[in-house]
Chains A and B, each alone.
Chain A
Amino acid sequence: MKLKILQILKNKQGYASGEQISRQLGVTRTAVWKTVNSLRKEGYPIDAVPNRGYRLVGEPDILSTAEIRIHLQRAGLDRFVGTVAFKQKTDSTNQMARFADGQQPNQVGLFVAEQQTAGRGRRGRNWHSDHKEGLWFSLLIRPKQMSAEHFSCMTLFAGLCVAEALNDLGINTGIKWPNDLIAIASGRKLGGILTEMILEDSDVRSLIVGIGINVAAKKFPEDLTNLATSIFLESGNHFTRAEVLITILHRFAERFPAYGDFRWLADYRSNCLTLGREIKVSPAFGTPWTGRAIHLNDDGELLVEDANGVRHVVRSGEVSIRGLPGCKM
């Protein structure tokens, strides 16, 4: 009922009377009143005027299952997105997705949290997401009988979709290979992606794409000040997290059916800030080395030429770009 009442209030320009709502939904006026109160507790600014009814004031930045569903319906994405789950607080949205059941092969599951207590970067590195100023979510994909190799470029693919979505919002965004979203104006990091794949024999059982975007943050902890930025800091605009989410899902839904033709790699290349730059490659275990990123091959790997002119295929490890603060060397 919460969803339905919220929907009515969102679609109504002026006031919706309690009686009208109760008749439309076939519930008592007291039930309507109770639901409105619980929506208010969630943070919705709802005006209540005797004899006129209820009115939602403005478009608050609130995340809830109902809010997300309404946005998905409005955007025509309610068929592409199957499961929707929301939590105020979770260890990580990737974990939420991991333990979810079901999901059709042609749909994605959406797992969103207001706060992540253990949001993860690469190799368990902490990702600053224990606050409400960002959008933290995971997409769950359950493909039918696909090999791990087929999906090995998923992080790159998601990175392209998010970069395009951020550009749609007016923020000039590029990708630092493989998965960092960099605001071109400041060179700082807006967000990142971490994909987890769960295999059963050699088939992919679940593919979980974790996405984190700094949306409203006005400042960051000292050690991140020079590295991180937010949509607000870059654009001066207050986008709600739901708007950002829908913009990303739009791009994802549009491109996902053609993931397998890998033609999107051409667009990835043109959005990739790493290509043509002096970079430092830091293997997980081993000595860092420097070189120039000269190409991204059709497997999504980076081709790097070292100081001696020797070319290396880079597939793992940290890569930083000289001269970009969000990508320190």
Chain B
Amino acid sequence: MQIDEIGKLMEFMKANDLNVLELEEGGSRLLLERHMPTVPASASAVLPQAAAASDALDSAEKSGQLILSPVVGVFYESPAQDAEPFVQVGSVVEVGSPLCIIEAMKLMNEVSSAFDGIVLEIFVENGQRVEYGQPLMRIGGDVSC
């Protein structure tokens, strides 16, 4: 399957407001999932210690803001191969904190947080290819004490 075909499928999902699309064709299988940005939760919705307990979050209403990939490329969780990840689930971030790098054609796009909050979820794996606009992380919660 060519990339532009996948792009078309993504457009199709968007147009028809589909959240999941699974396709099997000639032995290959493609699963597309769309994560809808939700309205920021009320300030007290998530506490830092609750962030790690993602089960609770899944059942509860999804809160927070999505960080979307600004470009097509490869997702890196750390600034260098042997370095610590920028953030993990539960990390407290503020506006401007670096979250990850998306690399494409030797251009390192440093994605920083546009929100204050806690990293509630990371949707992608280190080294995974990501598409333009694909959700990378969810950030939310109340960090004020």
- Binding between chains A and B: yes
List A residues at the B interface (Cβ < 8 Å).
120, 122-125, 147-149, 151-156, 178-179, 193-202, 283-286, 300-301, 311, 313, 315-317
The contact sample of 27 A-B pairs, CB cut-off 8 A, is A122-B103, A122-B106, A123-B76, A124-B79, A124-B81, A124-B83, A147-B70, A148-B70, A148-B109, A149-B132, A178-B106, A179-B106, A193-B106, A194-B108, A197-B110, A202-B70, A283-B74, A284-B76, A284-B127, A285-B127, A315-B72, A315-B104, A315-B129, A316-B74, A316-B103, A316-B104, A316-B105
Q: Say whether B73 faces chain A, with CB atoms less than 8 Å apart.
A: yes
| A317-B74 CB under 8 A given contacts A124-B83, A284-B127, A285-B126 | yes
Q: Which residues of A contact B72 (CB under 8 A)?
A: 152, 315
Of A148, A149, A194, A283, which one neighbours B106 at CB under 8 angstroms? A194
Whole-angstrom distance between the Cβ of B38 and the nearest chain A Cβ = 18
Contact B110 A196 (CB under 8 A): yes
Contact A149 B70 (CB under 8 A): yes
Of B80, B96, B132, which one neighbours A123 at CB under 8 angstroms? B80
Contact B83 A148 (CB under 8 A): no
Contact B82 A156 (CB under 8 A): no
Of A149, A200, A301, A315, which one neighbours B112 at CB under 8 angstroms? A200
Q: Which residues of B contact A286 (CB under 8 A)?
A: 127
Contact A154 B80 (CB under 8 A): no
User: Interface size class for chain B?
Assistant: 20 to 34
Distance A283 CA – B96 CA, assembled complex (angstroms): 29
Distance A251 CA – B134 CA, assembled complex (angstroms): 36
Q: Which residues of A contact B68 (CB under 8 A)?
A: 202
Closest residue of B by beta carbon distance from A123: B81
Q: Which 10 A-B pairs have the closest CB atoms?
A: A124-B80, A285-B127, A148-B70, A179-B106, A316-B74, A178-B105, A155-B106, A195-B107, A197-B109, A196-B108
Residues of B25-62 whose CB lies within 8 A of A: none
Closest residue of B by beta carbon distance from A120: B80
Q: Which residues of B contact A120 (CB under 8 A)?
A: 80
Whole-angstrom distance between the Cβ of B80 and the nearest chain A Cβ = 2
Q: Say whether B3 faces chain A, with CB atoms less than 8 Å apart.
A: yes
Distance A316 CA – B105 CA, assembled complex (angstroms): 6
Distance A151 CA – B73 CA, assembled complex (angstroms): 13
Q: Which residues of B contact A195 (CB under 8 A)?
A: 106-108
Whole-angstrom distance between the Cβ of A199 and the nearest chain B Cβ = 6
